[in-house]
Structure 1
Amino acid sequence: MRVAVVLNSKTEKIVPIVEGDIIRLYDTETEETEDVTNPSIHLSEGKRGAVVKWAESRGITVLAAPPSMLCELSYDSAKSKGFHYYRVSSDTGFAEFQQRLKNKNIELVTDLPLTEIEPSAVVLPNE
């Protein structure tokens, strides 16, 4: 299974979509990784939704999910597409995440706590 993990490339910490400059695609069976520039890095809005769409287009429906990973709209979109999540704390490094997967010390879930979902920003047209 391939998991999308958003990282700060300098610290190798797992971060919410809007804070990470790379997305690491991690194959849990082969342990191979592929780093890709976060496709939302140059967007001013819709970053989380853009990454959900991007991941789905690559056949990936599993995300490492620290708090604030998704907003209401992107979470609804991900749920409708059958995404699953590995919940991690906000200070989790990639190596620790990888070890937790190897040791089967992390659970794959279908829902995230609503307290970890950010409100969606609504842009109103100028009147």
Structure 2
Amino acid sequence: MIIAMAITGDQETIVPIIEGETIRLYDTETEHVSDFENPANNLTTGKRSAVIKWANSKGVKVLCSPPSMLCELSYDLARQEQFQYYRVKAHTSFSALQSLIKENGLELVAALPPNEIEPSVIAPANQ
């Protein structure tokens, strides 16, 4: 199974999509890692949805999800595309995620709790 996550910093911390410089794809069976520039990096709006669309185009259907990973609009898009989630605590490192997966310490879920979804902010139209 391939999992997508946003990564930042030397400690390779898993962060919400819009905070990570890198999107990492991790194959849990082979432990192969592929890093890509975050497609949200150069956007001003629709950042989270852009990452969902990008991951979907790569055939990924599982997201590693710390709190505030998605907003209402991107979560709706992810649900339409039938993504599933590994929920992790804030500031979880990639190495800790690998250990949790090996130890079966994470549950794959089809939905995120409402308190972990950010409100969508839609920029007002130019007047």
Equivalent residues in 2 for 1:93-112, closer than 5 Å: 93-112=93-112
- Separation of aligned partners in 1, 2:121 and 2:10: 28
Q: TM-score, normalised by structure 2?
A: 0.97
- Please name the residue that 2:33 is paired with: 33
Amino acid at match of 1:64: C
Q: TM-score, normalised by structure 1?
A: 0.97
CA contact (8 A) 1:9 1:22 kept: no
- Separation of aligned partners in 1, 2:9 and 2:90: 15
CA contact (8 A) 1:14 1:93 kept: yes
- Separation of aligned partners in 2, 1:23 and 1:126: 32
Equivalent residues in 2 for 1:85-124, closer than 5 Å: 85-124=85-124
- Runs of 4+ aligned structure 1 residues displaced above 4 Å come to none
Amino acid at match of 2:31: E
Q: Calculate percent identity across the aligned residue pairs.
A: 52
Give 5+ residue unaligned stretches, structure 2.
none
Q: Compute the RMSD of aligned alpha carbons.
A: 0.8
Give 5+ residue unaligned stretches, structure 1.
none
